[in-house]
Structure 1
Amino acid sequence: MKLLERINAFVQLGDFLSQFSRAEISQKEGVAYNDLFFDGFQHQIKLASEHNGWFTKENILYAIEGWASSLTEKHLSEWLTPYESAFAKAYTSKTIAVIMAGNIPLVGFHDFLSVLITAHQVIVKQSSNDKHLLPFLAKYLEYIHPDLKGKITFTEDKLPPHDAVIATGSDNTARYFEYYFGKKPNIIRKNRNSVAVLTGNETPEQLEALAEDIFRYYGLGCRNVSKLYVPKDYNFDGFFNAIYAWKDIINQAKYANNYDYNKAVYLMSLFDLLENGFLMLKEDASFGSPIATLFYERYESLEILYKTLEDHKDNIQCIVGETLDIETIAFGQTQNPQLHDYADGVDTIAFLLKK
């Protein structure tokens, strides 16, 4: 398959996914193979939500909406244009093993897309937490472009022979990955978290948008904000007022169980907490806060904070904020990455296009 054919395959997949949104699930005219796949994908969404209590229908559809908006000819072409010279050079098609995390729905799709768009074969080892959606979408792609048949393999067992590895996991699993795959070309991703820098000048609308960065997917993603940096004299009242719209999150049983457990641990340990009945704020220098908890740290000056963030850049996936002298993401946008927003800042396409 030529590059334009591969792009077209994913554009058609985007058209298919565009039928599934939080606002409405409805068939559209002209979408290929709807008669074979539309009802089946609804069933896979149902299975995914039943299998994993964190994968609510709303969050699954939110993830699907994101990919539907990304898989357009415009976005795919803009993403790949900087690599035109590399695509033009001869390179050998390889077999890439992709070991996926399972913390949020379709979290490994970008790696899957990257391998296939660069004309390699992919072996996918999924997390048991997220095993229903991607195999179904892979089958759809094979119908769209039969040349993809034989280029996509899913396995739950030991990985078959492969040439390179892309693996995502925790700091602990990364050590395992490095031990087993260190001699092959690899991308091995570890724990990262996202932070927000507040100055005290944020509007209520900006803080409301920040709540999306905190609570979407229950805070389980590496792009979720798990820590706030605030001025020394910051008053949290405005923040708590702005996030109140998410109060019903406490009605989700798994979230509520984590809230109750972590609150009990903190209180028994005599930690000072700020809390509003569905989120706890704890002053802590760490980056990865537990579910239903948000860490915060006060800063003396932005200049000192910038140095702190630079010193810890390997722990940080995204920085949320506005009107700062560092690269940031706008409030409310952490879970809407662009195709060129590579996890851990490692350019997956460049890695895959190496000879």
Structure 2
Amino acid sequence: MSHRNLTIEAFVKLGEFLRTFCEFIKSDSTSDAINNEWFLSFKDEIEMAQHYNGWFTVDNCMYAFEEWGNLLTKENIDNWLINYDINTNKEKIVALIMAGNIPLVGFHDLICVLITGNKALVKLSSNDQKLIPLLVRYLEDVAPYFKGRVIFTKEKLENYDAVIATGSNNTSRYFEYYFGKKPNIIRKNRNSVAVLTGEETNEDLTALGEDIFRYFGLGCRSVSKIFIPKDYNVDTFFKAIFSQNGIINHNKYANNYDYNKAVYLMSEFKILDNGFLILKEEESYGSPIASLFYEYYNDLEDLKYKLKQEEDKIQCIVSSGFIEREIEFGQTQKPTLKDYADAIDTVDFLLRTS
């Protein structure tokens, strides 16, 4: 069997396992599955996750596993790869420097490297040291072909052919200095926005709450800013997202909420507040945790032009009938395999790099 087929088969098995595992956890089953070594390993890791990263709650880890389980089907993978000729790839070692802001955030890069027939040299974020190695161990178990194809290291990266590095605007300068001579994808800060017109249904706005609060707003696909018309009724928005109010019971989130509110009040900024989310009028995009920036607009065409000019700062635009490649309300944390970070085709990059 070709490496392509072996790899696809292994990822399909991983998808099947994740779907079964998530159903098992949801049902609180006491079936024979509880004696399955892998079920126990995944359950233990998820329960331990928030001890090494307080943002990695059981709910958020389960959400990430469930989304990957839904993505990793034979049909989805075949549809993703249909326009690529994987057989043209020349095997290489690809260094991956992963972020750790949300669970499994670097896993798509790893899949791209492996499915194109390359090896991965991985430097994990200190915030996500456990979950991706767990998935790799499972892949090695169901497909021994993978053994030795993923190497995790904490040392200085050496002996690699290409680099994919994800970080902040500050770390990107460091990455460009050290890795600029190799073929690379270097990612900087991006945020996601929503464009509201006042015509949204209550269901739309409730779904937007998922885009704002999932993963505590820490993802680049998390909505951190909304654009609203001058006469927008913010109370409509606050009422629609009220179902998310339980987030304030999370200690780290609550601490950020209290701190940012105190800073804004001491600085005499005008804010809107519903007890678990602070709205602040602001032109920039990256709002702090427990805050959401907003900006008024007068004309949708002008706004469209503005966002086009600043597209290097934006990951997703959530809206309804605003632009062609918009994301539906509630869908930002449900990317497909074809949704590449920063709209850079990772598979194409890997196939073109010799």
Instruction: Give the TM-score taking structure 2 as reference length.
Output: 0.96
Q: Report the equivalent of 1:102.
A: 100
Q: Does 1:87 align with 2:86?
A: yes
**150, 153, 174: which one pairs with 1:152?**
150
Q: Which AA in structure 1 matches 2:26?
A: A
Q: How does 1:131-146 map to 2 (within 5 A)?
A: 131-146=129-144
Secondary structure (helix, strand or coil) at the match of 2:20 reads coil
Q: Which AA in structure 1 matches 2:225?
A: K
Q: Does 1:24 align with 2:35?
A: no
Question: Identity percentage over the alignment?
Answer: 57
Q: Report the equivalent of 2:221.
A: 223
8 Å Cα contact 1:101/1:127 also seen in 2 = yes
8 Å Cα contact 2:6/2:145 also seen in 1 = no
**341, 346, 349: which one pairs with 1:348?**
346
8 Å Cα contact 1:79/1:339 also seen in 2 = yes
8 Å Cα contact 2:21/2:39 also seen in 1 = no
Q: Does 1:309 align with 2:307?
A: yes
Q: Does 1:72 align with 2:73?
A: yes
Return the alpha-carbon distance in structure 1 between the equivalents of residues 31 and 122 of structure 2: 30
What is the count of residue pairs matched by the alignment?
349
Q: Report the equivalent of 1:42.
A: 43
Secondary structure (helix, strand or coil) at the match of 1:353 reads helix
Gapped runs of 5+ residues in structure 2? none
Q: Which AA in structure 1 matches 2:299?
A: S
Return the alpha-carbon distance in structure 2 between the equivalents of residues 343 and 260 of structure 1: 32
Q: Which AA in structure 2 matches 1:163?
A: D
Q: Does 1:174 align with 2:175?
A: no
Secondary structure (helix, strand or coil) at the match of 1:19 reads helix
Runs of 4+ that moved beyond 6 A: none
Return the alpha-carbon distance in structure 2 between the equivalents of residues 164 and 48 of structure 1: 30
State the shift of 1:140 in Å. 1.0
State the shift of 1:133 in Å. 1.0
8 Å Cα contact 1:48/1:131 also seen in 2 = no
Q: Report the equivalent of 1:273.
A: 271
Secondary structure (helix, strand or coil) at the match of 2:193 reads strand
Post-superposition CA distance 1:243-287 (Å, at most 9, x none) = 000111111000000000000100011100011000000000000
Return the alpha-carbon distance in structure 1 between the equivalents of residues 322 and 132 of structure 2: 38
Instruction: Give the TM-score taking structure 1 as reference length.
Output: 0.95
Return the alpha-carbon distance in structure 1 between the equivalents of residues 327 and 291 of structure 2: 22
Return the alpha-carbon distance in structure 1 between the equivalents of residues 31 and 165 of structure 2: 36
Return the alpha-carbon distance in structure 2 between the equivalents of residues 121 and 47 of structure 1: 29
Secondary structure (helix, strand or coil) at the match of 1:229 reads strand
State the shift of 1:329 in Å. 0.3
Secondary structure (helix, strand or coil) at the match of 2:199 reads coil
State the shift of 1:25 in Å. 5.7
State the shift of 1:26 in Å. 5.1
Return the alpha-carbon distance in structure 1 between the equivalents of residues 87 and 269 of structure 2: 59
Q: State the Cα RMSD in Å.
A: 1.5
State the shift of 1:28 in Å. 8.6
Post-superposition CA distance 1:184-204 (Å, at most 9, x none) = 000000000000000000000
